[in-house]
Structure 1
Amino acid sequence: MRVLVTGGAGFIGSHVVHAMLAAGHEVMVVDDLSHGRRENLPPGVRLFVTDIRSPELAAVYAEVHPEVVCHHAAQVSVARSVAAPVEDATLNVVGTVNVLDQAVKHAVRKIIYISSAAIYGNPQYQPCDESHPVVPLSPYGLAKRIGEDYVKLFNTLYGLQYTIFRYANVYGPRQDTEGEAGVIALFTRRMLDSKVTIIHGDGRQTRDFVYVGDIAQANVLALSRADGAVINLGTGTAVSINQLWRNLRTLTGYTGQEKHGDERKGDIRDMVFSIQRADELLGWQPSVNLEHGLRQTVAAFTQTA
């Protein structure tokens, strides 16, 4: 299958590219390299250095003729969205509409749209399933919700098929310090560099951390499954930020003290996903537990130090 991955040189997108190639698919990438890196891509993968908001995106579609578009390109920082909501909306809403519009104009069969746990806001119950009310607390979460609505509308108006993934907190090798799970990258980098490492708030807030390799496999499965579905991707296990900090301290050999700072605006308090639908519709379950995933992540950061 011919697949175009937007944001494919970035953290999650590049893992998706590797997984799709390993599954035998033909993969091309659109990335403006504002955060992505060429070296994240395997040799021979065609890279179009283009902003998804640009009119130049039409030429990419015309040349590639993708059957499926896997849309990972995004502004991924909650904090950045609070500080610069216009920038967030132009990329995460306007950019997404351009991706969808070009998909319709170039006869793309399906889009895999990447949404986020941030759309739920503070959960009214846990584990949080896909029927949970959507009450985002940040411009980022709101933009992702609007993106979902556009995806569904394009299906209704034009027949563009879709799968929507709501990611929990994705982590792993090649992660940078931005994004919803950037805390793992930030803690790891600073601990390896023996720098002060701050926990925002009391550290009792919980997250559902899912390894990037598992996320990549879900994207491969969605190429031919789960049309018309909205699916949570996580582990179903809640981990506090304090516990995460202590796990990473052990793995990195960090000798600094646990320090706390102010809470961040727009952050949800707690989140753990129900992943039953992913199992039912994709046949997907996470295979990498947190301990193993953190070891892999710390090892990757150590190699790039």
Structure 2
Amino acid sequence: MPQDVGNFSEEQIGLMDVLDEHSCYGESKRMGENWCASFAREYYVPTRSVRITHTYAPTMDVDHDQRVFASFMKCLMNQQDIVMLSDGSAKRTFCYIADAVAAFLLILLKGENGQAYNMSNEHEFLSIGELADTLVTLDSKKHLKVVRKQRPKDDVYMENKANCDICPSSAKLRSLGWTGEYDVRHGFSQVLRYLKENG
């Protein structure tokens, strides 16, 4: 698939360097999908694959979850500024758990056997920087801000700089009747409220 493609469908395999450290996760998911499709064709097992984008929920463990949005929410809970150690340009599609569960059930009930479906709220395709800028405004009384710093040279964190412009298309899922109802402001407001109420 060309680098400049805006949205990609389930039939487009995307760009992945199999020797990159980050590819082990994506390649393992591809293998699982291939098994599902193979069993559906050969043994008529009613399988469907869902390609889940970044999904968040009120019950995520902000103390131990290393994903960027969980780290941002931990900062909000601790009333700390969000400190970013990257330029924040990498883009991700964010999907609230209620939209995700609706997609799972719809694919289970109406999806085609042996097929894969992108679960992607394309309207919420944001850069990490845009997400941080949005989240610090959720509690206006705290006057939090986003602080951008350089990552220390001796930091062992493996930053994934891939994907600045390419968004998974949810057209196939939408053809089953799905729509993403939650934007990041609404979804993460629900998360923040739950975390405050449940400590």
TM-score, scaled relative to structure 2: 0.80
Counterpart residue type for residue 279 of structure 1: R
In structure 1, the residue matched to 2:111 is 226
For 1:257 and 1:289, locate their aligned partners in 2 and report how far apart those are by CA, in whole Å.
20
For 1:223-249, what per-residue CA distance to the aligned partner results, in whole angstroms no more than 9, with x for missing partners? Answer: 321122211111113211111111111
Cα displacement (A) at 1:278: 0.5
Identify if the C-alpha distance between structure 1 residues 188 and 151 changes in structure 2 by more than 3 Å, giving closer, same or farther: same
For 1:27-79, what per-residue CA distance to the aligned partner results, in whole angstroms no more than 9, with x for missing partners? Answer: xxxxxxxxxxxxxxxxxxxxxxxxxxxxxxxxxxxxxxxxxxxxxxxxxxxxx
Cα displacement (A) at 1:257: 4.7
SS of the residue corresponding to residue 148 of structure 1 reads: helix
In structure 2, the residue matched to 1:264 is 158
Cα displacement (A) at 1:135: 3.7
In structure 1, the residue matched to 2:59 is 174
Cα displacement (A) at 1:254: 5.0
Cα displacement (A) at 1:259: 2.7
Residues 1-305 of structure 1 aligned to structure 2 (within 5 Å): 125-136=5-16, 137-177=22-62, 178=65, 182-195=67-80, 197-228=82-113, 229-237=115-123, 238-252=125-139, 253=142, 255-262=144-151, 264-266=158-160, 268-270=162-164, 271-280=166-175, 282-305=176-199
Cα displacement (A) at 1:200: 4.1
For 1:274 and 1:174, locate their aligned partners in 2 and report how far apart those are by CA, in whole Å.
27
Counterpart residue type for residue 187 of structure 1: F
Counterpart residue type for residue 40 of structure 2: N
Counterpart residue type for residue 100 of structure 2: I
CA contact (8 A) 1:170 1:210 kept: yes
Cα displacement (A) at 1:208: 0.9
For 1:255 and 1:152, locate their aligned partners in 2 and report how far apart those are by CA, in whole Å.
47
Identify if the C-alpha distance between structure 1 residues 176 and 125 changes in structure 2 by more than 3 Å, giving closer, same or farther: farther
* Count of equivalent residues: 182
Identity of aligned residues (%): 22
RMSD: 2.4
For 1:284 and 1:186, locate their aligned partners in 2 and report how far apart those are by CA, in whole Å.
29
Identify if the C-alpha distance between structure 1 residues 135 and 209 changes in structure 2 by more than 3 Å, giving closer, same or farther: same
For 1:272 and 1:170, locate their aligned partners in 2 and report how far apart those are by CA, in whole Å.
15
Counterpart residue type for residue 189 of structure 2: R
For 2:60 and 2:150, locate their aligned partners in 1 and report how far apart those are by CA, in whole Å.
23
SS of the residue corresponding to residue 167 of structure 2 reads: coil
Identify if the C-alpha distance between structure 1 residues 266 and 206 changes in structure 2 by more than 3 Å, giving closer, same or farther: closer
Identify unmatched segments of 5+ residues in structure 2. Answer: 17-21, 152-156
CA contact (8 A) 2:136 2:146 kept: no
Identify if the C-alpha distance between structure 1 residues 259 and 269 changes in structure 2 by more than 3 Å, giving closer, same or farther: same
Cα displacement (A) at 1:268: 2.7
For 1:72-97, what per-residue CA distance to the aligned partner results, in whole angstroms no more than 9, with x for missing partners? Answer: xxxxxxxxxxxxxxxxxxxxxxxxxx
For 2:158 and 2:4, locate their aligned partners in 1 and report how far apart those are by CA, in whole Å.
20
For 2:54 and 2:8, locate their aligned partners in 1 and report how far apart those are by CA, in whole Å.
14
Counterpart residue type for residue 116 of structure 2: V
SS of the residue corresponding to residue 223 of structure 1 reads: helix
For 2:117 and 2:132, locate their aligned partners in 1 and report how far apart those are by CA, in whole Å.
29
For 2:55 and 2:181, locate their aligned partners in 1 and report how far apart those are by CA, in whole Å.
14
For 2:159 and 2:128, locate their aligned partners in 1 and report how far apart those are by CA, in whole Å.
16
